[in-house]
């Protein structure tokens, strides 16, 4: 059971890392696009480019902050679930069987 939890945690960490990398690439591309657009036009475009860059920088900062919080919270929840399952194995089996039964009934009606 612990090995499964460890693999799940690693998979979650990999997913979060990939999401973070993709978002950072997207923001950097947007920054490059704003810079290119500003060089093609006048003074107003410079003001818009500066404001856009500031907004993107703030968005990157907040995204990093939220990502860190989400990773910490998910690890805490995984640890709590692991402890609960180890302390209450039969209760967990009963809950999982009940959920499986309800999903089966729901899907059977469709």
Token reading at 57: 């920088």
Mean pLDDT taken over the chain: 77
Residue-level length of the chain: 110
Mean per-residue pLDDT, 5-33:
66
Model confidence, pTM: 0.46
Rounded CA separation 79/73 (Å): 10
Q: How many CA atoms lie within 13 A of 33 on its CB side?
A: 8
**Residue 38: Cβ within 10 Å count:** 19
| Predicted confidence band of residue 100 (pLDDT cuts 50, 70, 90) | very high
Angle between helices 89-109 and 43-87 (to 10 degrees): 120
Rounded CA separation 106/100 (Å): 10
pLDDT digits (tens, 9 = 90+) for 39-55: 666 776 777 677 777 77
pLDDT digits (tens, 9 = 90+) for 47-95: 767 777 777 777 777 778 778 888 888 898 999 989 989 999 999 999 9
């Amino acid at each position: 059971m612990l090995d499964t939890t460890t693999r799940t945690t690693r998979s979650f960490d990999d997913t979060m890392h990939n999401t973070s990398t993709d978002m950072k690439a997207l923001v950097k591309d947007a920054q490059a696009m704003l810079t290119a657009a500003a060089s093609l036009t006048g003074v107003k475009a410079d003001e818009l480019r500066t404001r856009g860059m500031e907004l993107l920088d703030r968005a990157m900062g907040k995204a990093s902050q939220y990502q860190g919080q989400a990773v910490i919270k998910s690890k805490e929840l995984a640890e709590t679930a692991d402890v609960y399952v180890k302390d209450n194995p039969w209760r967990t089996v009963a809950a999982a069987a009940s959920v499986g039964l309800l999903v089966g009934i729901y899907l059977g009606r469709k």
